Amino acid sequence: MSSSNYPVDMTVKPDVKAFFDPATNTISYVVKDPASNSCAVVDSVMDIDYAAGRITYDHADAIIAHVRDKGLEVEWLIETHVHADHLSAAPYIQQKLGGKLGIGDKITVVQDTFGKVFNEGTEFQRDGSQFDRLFKDGDTYQVGGMTAFAMYTPGHTPACMVHVIGNAAFVGDTLFMPDGGSARADFPGGDAATLYDSIQKVLALPDEMRLFMCHDYGPNGRDIAWETTVGAEKEHNIHVGGGKTKEDFVKFRTERDAQLDMPKLIIPSLQVNMRGGKMPPADENGKTFLKVPVNTL
């Protein structure tokens, strides 16, 4: 779909509450309909001490406490994509608060790729059935009285979607803050030219559209930040702003990605997130294990 065909409504102005996770530099959001108690939770985080193999829920519990304090009703748990740098807490939050779990329908491509990487057996379904809803480009859904839509934005991964709710867009890893640029495009199924095209779709939204980042690393010592606008990204984004061409971007992105280390949590993150945030099934003794594929990633 081209940007002009999406059902943008800038008159709808959701209340957006951010939860920053310092361990993974991820920002999760509770997005509330101002006209009701309905909300959506975007890109939650489950805590892991990978060295110890220990899972905890401090970050998710803070979101749950906020939802309960304010008397909100969770209608949706949205994953912008299969994250490679943190584990999703969506099933944990869903168990406590309800709501439907949604991701882009190309999750099946990611499941197929990483099902092979992790040598999963046939019990690992590659059909997206771990989720309640698989969004296609342009699909709409309701958060209370607000109509939200999903915009297909591949490039960082094949299943990335930007979710737009009124005048707020949750960009996942398509864009970082203007001084942070863009996310890498070298994971399996990623592609720098495709990412550039997806970013242009985001930048074709109205200039006043609020953009909410999934990550921020506070480049050059600035404080962590997560909110900007389409207008500011168009003008100032160091990778795509100020009229940089697709050729410039692809060359820069490809050279930069070749120098990046794998994210610290990529191995546990992919195994859990490709299952919608659930651990692999326990063994016959009730114990749960994650794998480390050697010399594969």
Q: Tell the residue number behind the tokens 């997560």, with chain if given.
A: 226
Q: Which residue is nearest to Fe ion (CB)?
A: 173
CB of 20 to Fe ion, least distance (A): 16
Residue whose CB is less far from Fe ion, 263 or 293: 263
Pairing of strands 146-152, 140-143: antiparallel
Residue whose CB is less far from Fe ion, 83 or 239: 83
Number of residues that bind Fe ion (CB under 5 A): 2
Among 62-70, 77-85, 97-105, 251-259, the segment contacting Fe ion (CB under 5 A): 77-85
- Residues for the chain: how many in total? 297
Among 68-76, 82-90, 113-121, 146-154, the segment contacting Fe ion (CB under 5 A): 82-90
Q: Does residue 83 contact residue 264 with C-beta atoms inside 8 Å? A: no
CB of 147 to Fe ion, least distance (A): 26
Among 20-28, 55-63, 168-176, 277-285, the segment contacting Fe ion (CB under 5 A): 168-176
CB of 187 to Fe ion, least distance (A): 8
- Under the binding rule (CB under 5 A), the answer on residue 79 touching Fe ion is no
Return the DSSP state at 256: H
Site for Fe ion in 83-102 (CB under 5 A): 83
Please state at what angle helix 107-117 crosses helix 266-273, rounded to 10 degrees: 130
Q: Using the rule CB under 5 A, which residue among 33, 120, 173, 216 binds Fe ion? A: 173
Residue whose CB is less far from Fe ion, 63 or 110: 110
CA distance 144 to 31: 11
Structure tokens at 195: 């990412």
Residue whose CB is less far from Fe ion, 175 or 203: 175
Residue whose CB is less far from Fe ion, 167 or 271: 271
Q: Does residue 187 contact residue 296 with C-beta atoms inside 8 Å? A: no
Pairing of strands 140-143, 73-78: unpaired
CA distance 3 to 6: 6
CB of 86 to Fe ion, least distance (A): 9
Residue whose CB is less far from Fe ion, 33 or 173: 173
Among 6-14, 79-87, 189-197, 264-272, the segment contacting Fe ion (CB under 5 A): 79-87
Q: Does residue 268 contact residue 85 with C-beta atoms inside 8 Å? A: no
CB of 156 to Fe ion, least distance (A): 6
CA 37 to chain centre: 24
Q: Tell the residue number behind the tokens 């030219």, with chain if given.
A: 193
Residue 33 has φ and ψ, to the nearest 5°, of -70, 120
Residue whose CB is less far from Fe ion, 32 or 184: 184
Structure tokens at 192: 């720098």
* Residues forming the site for Fe ion (CB under 5 A): 83, 173
